[in-house]
Amino acid sequence: MIKNYILIGPPGSGKGTQAKKLTEQFHLLHLSTGSIFRQLAQHDNNLKELITSGNLVPDTQVVDLISKYIRNNIITVKKTGILLDGFPRTLTQAKNMSKIFVMEGITINVVYIMTLNYDESINRLLGRRVCTMCGANYKQSNNIIKCTYCNNILSKRSDDQVNIIKNRFQIYEKQTKPLIEYYDNQSNIDVIYINGSKDENDVFNQITKHL
């Protein structure tokens, strides 16, 4: 049976890292709203300012994007299943997504809640380096300078600064955490907690047990 998944977690909890591994191994369609908005922000100063300050993009803009994305990719979604990374992040987004999915005849099966404390989030994100071409993540401590997928020079993400990470973390606590109760109350959806502070392989194994 084709299944659809959501990854929810604070900044740095490993959503992007795990999504990349999962979609490579299980051929799921990967939708990262963060990656899409970062691409769009290259030609949109308002969006750039929102992301660089760590604030959320307005719900209407996010829902509009998702709605178009799902409609344009519905055949693939039904064939492979989709992994949502970083969406939804507010109750409004979750409720609107549910309407879109019902209309398109698709359902969410599993919601993963990745946990990570604030100090570890700061540590990881200050040491993160990214490829701006393909979005791959690296650790500064590994001393890799160029992306192993596309040979692009790695850089720091503009929102990976202490005060901005703090803002992103607080927004997660206030606006995204209420989604846990929202999904917990839906009997047809499995809500699975993942200890994001373990090493990458351990986290991957925790997730794949429930795929």
For binding to ligand AP5 (CB under 6 A), which residues are involved?
A: 9, 11-17, 33-34, 37, 50-51, 54-57, 62, 86-89, 93, 124-125, 128, 137, 139, 168, 199-200, 203
Which strand ranges, in their side-by-side order, compose the sheet holding 5-8? 29-32, 82-85, 5-8, 110-115, 190-195
Q: Looking at this protein, which amino acid is placed at residue 24?
A: E
In angstroms, give the least distance from the CB of 211 to ligand AP5: 18
166-to-68, 126, 175, 177 alpha-carbon distances in Å: 31, 12, 14, 15
In angstroms, give the least distance from the CB of 88 to ligand AP5: 6
In angstroms, give the least distance from the CB of 1 to ligand AP5: 26
Contacts of residue 140, Cβ cutoff 8 Å, sequence gap at least 6: 127, 128, 129
In angstroms, give the least distance from the CB of 191 to ligand AP5: 18
Nearest-5° angle of CA 191, CA 130, CA 124? Answer: 60
Minimum CB distance to ligand AP5 smaller for 72 or for 79: 72
In angstroms, give the least distance from the CB of 160 to ligand AP5: 7
Specify whether the CB–CB gap between 30 and 16 falls below 8 A. no
In angstroms, give the least distance from the CB of 111 to ligand AP5: 14
Coil vs helix vs strand at 87: coil
Minimum CB distance to ligand AP5 smaller for 80 or for 204: 204
Minimum CB distance to ligand AP5 smaller for 79 or for 172: 172
By residue count, the chain amounts to 211
CB environment 69-97: b (16+ within 10 A), e (fewer): bbeeeeeebeebbbbbbbbbbbeebbebb
Minimum CB distance to ligand AP5 smaller for 79 or for 162: 162
Q: How far apart are CA 153 and CA 172, in angstroms?
A: 30
Minimum CB distance to ligand AP5 smaller for 30 or for 168: 168
Minimum CB distance to ligand AP5 smaller for 79 or for 193: 193
